[in-house]
Amino acid sequence: MLDNNKKMLIITAILIFIIMTIIIGYANINGNKSSSPKPQNKTPIHQKDNSPAEKWYVQFTAKQQPTTAYTEEINAPRPANGQHYFTGGIAVHPRYPGYDPRVPIIPFGTVVYPSPPLEINGNKYHSLVVMDTGDINYGLWGDHPYWFDVYFGNTEYFNIKNAQKYGAKKHDYYWYEEWK
């Protein structure tokens, strides 16, 4: 038989082995945890796509519509779009005769492409921008809903002469509007 000292030594060794196994096991379980939690296996939430949607545009064409020219006093009220007058701006009919002049037949800010280009005060314009409404009741150009009036500048001698010289001319033109 083993003497008592050897029994105590074996028991102590077994206890140390058991304690070391428990400590190492605990360290492996808790020591591998990173500071950021691991993502859980859950179904991902689908976020709304906020990328800009593709826009579609429609090209409209007006054929042989009369165009005229106008000037405005420096202190005149602003055009129907609420902005300032500028050379290359045009006035168009309201959407309906006698209707609200703030609702034009061609939307404010729309770029119109005349063919051939227009000459305004000696400069050729290949594009014009809708900024105003005119002939509100379609009294002058009722048979031509897509008539437009070209702004020739402030009311001063040379602008008036150039606008009078321009007179009334028929033009073809086109523009684009967003498909809604």
For residue 180 the two structure tokens come to: 């809604």
pTM for this model (two decimals): 0.70
pLDDT at 36 over 60: no
The per-residue pLDDT for 46 is: 61
Beta-carbon contacts of 159 under 8 Å, excluding residues fewer than 6 positions away, are 71, 121, 152, 153
Interval 116-163: pLDDT, tens: 999 999 999 999 999 999 999 999 999 999 999 999 999 999 999 999
Cis omega (within 30 of 0) on the bond before 52? Answer: no
